[in-house]
A = this chain, B = another copy of it.
Amino acid sequence: MRSAYFDHIAATPLHPSVLEAMLPYLGGENFGNPQSLHSAGQAALQAVEEARERVADLINASPSEIYFTSSGSESNNFAIKGLAGAMPKNKNHIVISAMEHQSVLHSAESLEKRGFEVTRVPIDQYGIVDPEAVRKAITPSTGLVSIIMASGEVGTVQPIKNIAGICHEQDVLFFTDAVDAVGNIPVNVLDLSVDALSLSGIQFYGPKGSGALFVKKGKRIVPFIDGGIQENGRRAGTENVPAIVGLGKAAALAQTEMSIRSDKAIPLRDKLIRESPLRVENVLVTGHPKKRLPHHASFCIEFVEGEAMLLNLDMKGISSSSGSACTSRALKASHVLLAMGVDHALAQGSLVFSIIEDNTEEDVEYLLDVFPPIIERLRQMSPLYPAHKEK
């Protein structure tokens, strides 16, 4: 059976040259602990520091501003809890958007339980945060603003530079969860003027278990994982050397191949966005029509449920998602779609096709061929489908 993987946002495959870079640090001689003073440790440490340079280069940061973590979720917890924990005594207010990832949302909720106040800024029908709404949400007690750079659920890319600028006018720290952005669109921390930024290797052909947090030099952050002196005393735990080396290699690849990957993905994305509503009735394209990730096409399909579509597509060899993998099994309507004003029933029919670099135009043709009859069949079984009701 033909198969096509359209679930970039859940996890990209490991790039063969990333695996090749990792292997010497998995088996063989290079198994040392980077904190060991002997040669085996020194070799591991050197590999970690080279990877740090590569990750820093990708986002135009300094290596000393990069802290390795185990995932995007850990990076987001570290940022929200660590930056809030370092806020001056007279600040206890945080501003986030209604479309943050669960790891930011729930970190903010944990802080609320500890006495912090959190304001959630709304988004428009395209999932865009209005920078002026952020300005209005900031009070004299605001210490931190956190706005996601790009949504894995609807693909929308935010006006981060504008929002960061407003935060700095008010002398408020600005963090962006850039997990779905870094490696896929150009991200320059100096140009954007962000104080902290999270990223994850699985979004750009790097290994699972790899993530990083950028914290601008001079900005205070409290450690999240307490313990040893790794990562300059800010993130304890023996460094996951192979994952870090793989992240570094993936970052270097992304830097050279990003525009090639985008140039290939955008026509496929646009074909999916253009043709899906032509082939199936009652399909809503979600997210912003232009300000969106190059590899991301998302829809709400009326009168069908996301899970049923995924499983039926899977039977045809097509891997897709209905939004964030982090909540897929919860089978709840996406908080992002609801915040965009999509009604609850329609939000249940969420579907995301996210393109990896191996995808071809034939994959897209195949998808567009098998997709309509699946939807038609599912609708015929749905008591809510008007055609069904009319009978």
Footprint of B on A, CB under 8 Å?
5, 7, 10-14, 16, 19, 22, 26-27, 31-33, 35-41, 70-74, 76-77, 101-103, 106-107, 109-110, 114, 200, 202, 207-209, 223-230, 236-243, 307, 310-311, 313-314, 318-322, 324-330
A241 CB contact (under 8 Å) in B208, B314, B321? B208
Q: Which residues of B contact A326 (CB under 8 A)?
A: 35, 227-230, 236, 238
Q: Nearest CB to that of A103 among chain B residues?
A: B227
Is A35 touching B237 in the complex (CB atoms < 8 A)? no
Is A329 touching B229 in the complex (CB atoms < 8 A)? yes
List the 6 shortest-distance A-B pairs measured between CB atoms, nearest first: A228-B326, A103-B227, A209-B240, A70-B70, A71-B237, A73-B237
Nearest-neighbour CB distance to chain B for A372, whole angstroms, equals 19
Q: Nearest CB to that of A319 among chain B residues?
A: B38
Q: Which of A72, A74, A76, A107 has the most CB of B within 10 A?
A: A74
Q: Which residues of B contact A70 (CB under 8 A)?
A: 70-71, 74, 209, 237, 240
Is B242 touching A207 in the complex (CB atoms < 8 A)? yes
A236 CB contact (under 8 Å) in B13, B106, B229? B106
Is B36 touching A7 in the complex (CB atoms < 8 A)? yes
Q: Which residues of B contact A200 (CB under 8 A)?
A: 238
Is A38 touching B237 in the complex (CB atoms < 8 A)? no
A324 CB contact (under 8 Å) in B228, B310, B320? B228
Q: Which residues of B contact A72 (CB under 8 A)?
A: 237-238
Nearest-neighbour CB distance to chain B for A247, whole angstroms, equals 11
Taking A71-B237, A77-B226 as contacts, is the C-beta distance between A10 and B36 under 8 angstroms? Answer: yes
Q: Which residues of B contact A237 (CB under 8 A)?
A: 70-74, 103
Is B320 touching A38 in the complex (CB atoms < 8 A)? yes
Give the CA-CA distance A93 to B239 in the complex, in Å.
32
Give the CA-CA distance A115 to B314 in the complex, in Å.
51
Q: Which residues of B contact A27 (CB under 8 A)?
A: 14, 16, 19
A36 CB contact (under 8 Å) in B238, B318, B321? B321
Is B103 touching A228 in the complex (CB atoms < 8 A)? yes
Q: Nearest CB to that of A104 among chain B residues?
A: B227
Is A226 touching B107 in the complex (CB atoms < 8 A)? yes
- For this complex, 24 residue pairs linking A to B, each with C-beta atoms less than 8 Å apart, are A7-B32, A7-B41, A10-B41, A11-B36, A16-B27, A35-B328, A36-B321, A38-B310, A41-B319, A70-B237, A73-B226, A74-B225, A74-B237, A77-B227, A101-B227, A102-B228, A102-B236, A106-B227, A107-B227, A110-B226, A208-B240, A228-B324, A228-B327, A240-B243
Q: Which residues of B contact A226 (CB under 8 A)?
A: 73, 77, 102-103, 106-107, 109-110
Is A40 touching B5 in the complex (CB atoms < 8 A)? yes
Taking A228-B324, A326-B229 as contacts, is the C-beta distance between A319 and B36 under 8 angstroms? Answer: yes
Q: Which residues of B contact A307 (CB under 8 A)?
A: 37
A19 CB contact (under 8 Å) in B26, B76, B324? B26
Q: Which residues of B contact A328 (CB under 8 A)?
A: 35-37
Q: Which residues of B contact A318 (CB under 8 A)?
A: 38
Q: Which of A16, A39, A110, A228 has the most CB of B within 10 A?
A: A228
Give the CA-CA distance A31 to B307 in the complex, in Å.
21
Q: Which residues of B contact A209 (CB under 8 A)?
A: 70, 209, 240, 242-243
Give the CA-CA distance A330 to B11 in the complex, in Å.
38
Taking A242-B208, A314-B37 as contacts, is the C-beta distance between A73 and B5 under 8 angstroms? Answer: no
Q: Which residues of B contact A224 (CB under 8 A)?
A: 77
Is A73 touching B227 in the complex (CB atoms < 8 A)? yes
Q: Which residues of B contact A103 (CB under 8 A)?
A: 225-228, 236-237
